[in-house]
Structures are given as C-alpha cells and as structure tokens.
Amino acid sequence: MRVLVVMNFGADPAAPQRGRWVIDQVEALREGGLEVDLFSFRPGVDQYLPATRKIRQVLKEEEYDLVHAHYGLAGWCAQLAGAAPLVVTFHGTDVRHRIVGPMSRLLTRRIALVAGASKALFEEEAGRPGLPLSEGRSAVLPCGADLCRFSRVDRKVARRILGLDPDEPFLFFPADPERPEKRFDRAKQLADAADAKLVCGGGIEPDRMPLWMNAANAVLVTSNYEGFGLACLEAMACDVPVLSTPVGIAPHALRGLDRNLCADFQPELWSEFASKLVSEADPRTDGRPRAEALSARRMADRVVMAYRDLLAGGADKALSNSANSGGARVSGVDLGNDGVS
C-alpha cells in the first residue's frame, strides 16, 4: 500500500517538538511495511495556495492508494488538490478554534474518512462543538506514544545529564506557555502553591524531552482541551506521575492509576496533590503498561486497519451507534469501547 501523508504543523526553532507525533506515526507505518511519503509545509496563510499546487503536482506525478492529511487546513489543501480517497485526522485546535473549527466541520462532508485523534473530538468540550459523527465515515485514529524514545530513566541520572540540581524538586509543564488553551497560568499558580520550581517544555528538542520528564517530580497537563494529550502518555511511559484536567486521553489513561490526578482544575486539590509529589525524592507510578496499550506502533496498526477497510469499501458500510455502550464503529475501528476516548 502506498500512502501520501500531508501535514502543516512541523517543527521550528521555537517549537522543535511540534508535529513530532505525526512523524512518529509515519515511521511506525513504514516499519509496518507501508510505503509512505510525507509532504510537510509550514503553517501560515501565505502557505496554503502554494502547498495545494505542490500537492496537486505530486498527485499527478505519483500514484497513491490514498492520501492521509493531519489537521484541518492541511486536509483542505489535499482536498482542493484532488486527493482521493482522502483521510483527515483532526487533532484538537483545528476542531475547537473559533475560525478553523467551522472550516474543519465543513471539510468532513467532502472526505472519505473523518478521523479524530480521540473520541473527545467528536463531542462538545469547554463549550466548543466537536466533529460531526458522519455515518459510515468516522474513526478514532490517535498517533500514540513513541515508546522507543520515552522510557524510565533514573531521576538522578536524568538531572545530571541536564545539568540540574539533583535534589531540587520541580514540576514540568510540557507545552508552549504561549498557547492560551494550555493554561500556563494554572501551572504557575500550582507551582507557586506547592513551592516548587516550574519548567516549561515549549522549546525543548524532541530527543531531550524524555530526560526532562524523567527529571521532574510530576508532569502537568492543565489544558482547557486536548485533541489527544500525548504528553500524558509520554510521561506515563516514563513512570512519571501526571496531574491532568479531564481532557483528551487522560480520563481513560489515568483512571485508577496510583499517584496520578485527573480532575477539573481546583487549586486547593491540585496543590495538595502536587505538594506530596514534590516532597518525595523519586515519585514514580506504574504508568508504562497503560502507555504501551496506546503506543505509536499499536496505533499505526489501527490506522492500517482503517486504510484497508476504506479501500475495501468499508467506509460505505453503515455505522452502528449504541447508546448503551457509548461505542461507534466504522469498518472495525472502535470509537470508544477500546478505551481511546
């Protein structure tokens, strides 16, 4: 099977980690035997028309079984370039944004398969509408955590490599503090209340991110919303505790897991929980088994299943929707019952 993947959310010096999750999925698909070409372009209003032209040219010169775009605006470029069949995975901001969100929902009417990075993207969240659950054309296709990069490292070793004080506790906010939906203000309020240092991950190189997570006493996900919430799984793969709002994958991934918190942001509750973790020299949790269930490799297998069903005509099958189970299926790809929620 030959696939063209299109994305416009690549890394730059200010955000070297951005878009890495798509690249991880592409690499996992290649390891699984698919022939995958990646077309990536920079975000920006002035980039969409040139990108559409280039994609159209690529499609004239090369033959692909299907095209898979990540993010709504990249999906529009692929659709306008004539990509068919076209799969689009929506990741969060492209669904919740006040301008891009309506454009993404319009795009869902024109593509072969509507994919969300999590079940949450098909639902209303924080007062913002989700994707329409299109009959016979919907699936949940996360990118998953790269467990080859994210694994447990001795905390003192991680701190020594990073040149940190071996005994100074700190909390890690893995997002760009400039993104308002990530709610850096909450993370700072929490760190101040817990009397802990706060480190932000917006400009950290991808290869260094596992070290920073292992060096931290806990990872903070304080977002208003997440399409999937990969940082939560990456921290779990390192056995590092997570404090998260109930967004993206967090409610499923953290449910019942000792030394982790998944709850609406309440300063008193969160600061009390964080203070206990900060007071310990090496707080850890048994998170890796949960992360393994949602690894990049396993999620790539899920994507291949969706591809095969689509090419076999699976997208024309009726979508079953059970109010009792909360699950919906398209061509064997479950929207909720397997825990990807």
Global pTM value = 0.80
Residues 227-262 have pLDDT tens digits of 888 999 999 999 999 999 999 889 999 999 999 999
DSSP state at residue 36:
E
Residue 114 near residue 138, CB atoms below 8 Å = yes
What one-character-per-residue DSSP string does 192-236 give?
HHTT-EEEE-TT--GGGHHHHHHHSSEEEE--S--SS-HHHHHHH
Asked if pLDDT for residue 339 goes beyond 60, the answer is no
The helix (H) or strand (E) run that includes residue 40 is strand 35-40
Percent of the residues in the chain that have a pLDDT greater than 90, as a whole number: 74
Enumerate the domain spans of the chain. Answer: 2-144+296-334, 155-292
Q: Which two tokens stand for residue 2?
A: 């030959």
pLDDT confidence bin for 314, thresholds 50/70/90: low
Torsion of CA 299, 300, 306, 309, to 10 degrees: -130
Q: Give the contacts of 70 (CB within 8 A, at least 6 positions apart).
A: 5, 6, 7, 9, 22, 88, 89, 91
Task: Say what the pLDDT of residue 206 is.
Answer: 84
User: Model confidence over 260-313: pLDDT tens digits?
Assistant: 999 999 999 999 999 999 999 899 999 999 999 999 999 999 999 999 999 998
Average pLDDT in the chain = 88
pLDDT tens per residue, range 198-210: 999 878 888 899 9
DSSP 297-324: HHHHHHHHHHHHHHHTTGGGSPPEE-TT
> In this predicted model, which residue has the larger pLDDT, 262 or 332?
262
Equal fold, 2-144+296-334 vs 155-292: yes
pLDDT tens readout for residues 98-139: 999 999 999 999 999 999 998 889 998 778 899 998 777 899
Which distant-in-sequence residues (6+ apart) come within 8 Å of 47 by Cβ? Answer: 8, 41
Q: Identify which of 321, 313, 317 has the alpha carbon closest to the alpha carbon of residue 337.
A: 321
How is residue 180 annotated by DSSP?
G
Residue 338 reports pLDDT greater than 50: no
Whether the predicted pLDDT of 25 surpasses 90:
yes
Q: What percent of the chain has pLDDT over 70?
A: 89
Class of domain 155-292: alpha beta
pLDDT recorded at residue 324: 28
Two structure tokens written together for 50: 């040139």
Q: Is 339 exposed, middle or buried (0-12, 13-18, 19+ CB in 10 A)?
A: middle
Mean pLDDT of 28-49: 94
The helix/strand/coil state of 19 is coil
pLDDT at 188 over 80: yes
- Closest by CA to 133, choosing from 335, 341, 340, 307, is 335
Q: What average pLDDT does range 34-43 have in this prediction?
A: 94
**What is the rounded distance in angstroms from the CA atom of residue 228 to the CA atom of residue 221?**
12
> Does the pLDDT value for residue 330 go beyond 90?
no
pLDDT score for 14: 58
What fold, for 2-144+296-334? Rossmann fold (3.40.50)
In the structure, what pLDDT confidence band is assigned to residue 17 with cuts at 50, 70 and 90?
A: low
Instruction: Compute the average pLDDT of residues 145-167.
Output: 94
* Confidence at residue 10, expressed as pLDDT on a 0 to 100 scale: 63
